[in-house]
Amino acid sequence: MSQLDFAGRVALVTGAGRGMGRAHALMLAGRGARVVVNDLASPDGGASTADAVVAEIRAAGGTAIADHHSVIGGGAAMVDAALVAFGGLDIVIANAGVISSDTFAGADPADWQAVFDIHFGGTVEVCRAAWPALVRSGTGRIVTTASSGMLGNAGLSSYGAAKGAIFSLTRSLAIEGQDAGITANVILPSAWTRITGTIDDPAIAATLQRYFQPEHVAALVAWLVHQHTAVTNEAFQVSGGRAGRVSMAAYPTVRLSESTPENWQAHAAALLADGPLTPLRSTAEMFGNELADADPAIRHAMNAATGGLGLKPTTGREGESLG
Supply the residues annotated as catalytic. Answer: 159
Closest listed residue to residue 27, CA positions, set 229, 188, 218: 218
Burial status of residue 171 (CB atoms within 10 A of its CB: 0-12, 13-18, 19 or more): buried
* ∠ CA 228-231-232, rounded to 5°: 125
Report the alpha-carbon distance of residue 28 to residue 5 in Å, rounded.
Answer: 9
| Cα dihedral value 289, 293, 296, 299, nearest 10 | 0
Closest listed residue to residue 62, CA positions, set 99, 102, 15, 25: 25
Report the alpha-carbon distance of residue 126 to residue 74 in Å, rounded.
Answer: 8
